[in-house]
Amino acid sequence: MDNRHTAGLRPRPSLTSGAAQGGLAPDASPRKPSPASRPSVMQAPVLVLNATFEPINVTAVRRALVLMLKGVAQAEETNHAEVHSTSRAVQVPSVIRLLSYRHIPQQSRALSRKNILLRDRNTCQFCGRAFPASELTLDHVMPRSRGGRSSWENLVACCYTCNNRKGDRTPEEAGIKLQRRPRPFTLHTSRQLMRLIGHRDEKWRKYLFY
């Protein structure tokens, strides 16, 4: 290869030369946390109010911004952070309000594993200990083999130890006791969950009646 080609090439930097020049060992060089390890502001919780200022749901900042940009909702409370597009900056909402009234059915949550764990606050309903979601399963209080249904009133969060101990029996037969009787989601349950999710945000308090 002649000099005209080699002049345009740059040598690959040495992994150790910078550390040696700065007086730092390779393992002592400062490291910034990766972006993936930081919680995204777009996933932060936002309280959703009906047009009547009644709290009805919690969503993520990303969804809240979409509703605002579509003209479906407006921000009632904002945070100090901003999100930027090529042409504008928008303050991150903390509380949004729908501009048109939405009728919310009394039972608006689907029966699912996620919602059962939410209702039971990731707590085993037999031993009373809290666990990560990955360490919990669902238990039929009345076993399915005896006609027990998959319903709000018959499903509870349960750790694997208690689940194995109970087996295909009722709690009474297994000698264990339910912490509380399972019930469907109610307005009270939803409000309690909203308070738990937003307990660090003072702006939510006046809407949730702490």
Residue 116 has pLDDT above 60, yes or no: yes
State the sign of the Cα–Cα–Cα–Cα dihedral 136, 137, 143, 147.
positive
pLDDT in tens, 62-105: 999 999 999 999 999 998 888 887 788 889 999 999 999 998 76
Scanning the structure block, which residue is given the tokens 């952070």? Answer: 81
28-37, 60-69, 131-140: range with lowest mean pLDDT: 28-37
Q: List, in order of start, the domains of the chain with CATH numbers.
A: 42-98 (no CATH), 113-174 (1.10.30.50)
Q: Which helix (H) or strand (E) holds 57?
A: strand 55-60
Q: Where are the beta strands (DSSP E) in the chain?
A: 45-49, 55-60, 73-84, 89-98, 136-140, 155-159
pTM over 0.75, yes/no: no
59 touches 194 (CB < 8 A):
no
CA angle (68 as vertex; 67, 70 as ends), nearest 5:
65
9-23, 42-56, 171-185: range with lowest mean pLDDT: 9-23
Share of the chain above pLDDT 90, in %: 48
60 touches 42 (CB < 8 A):
yes
Q: What is the mean pLDDT of the chain?
A: 80
pLDDT reported for residue 174:
96
Residue 4 has pLDDT above 70, yes or no: no
Beta bridge partners of 173: none
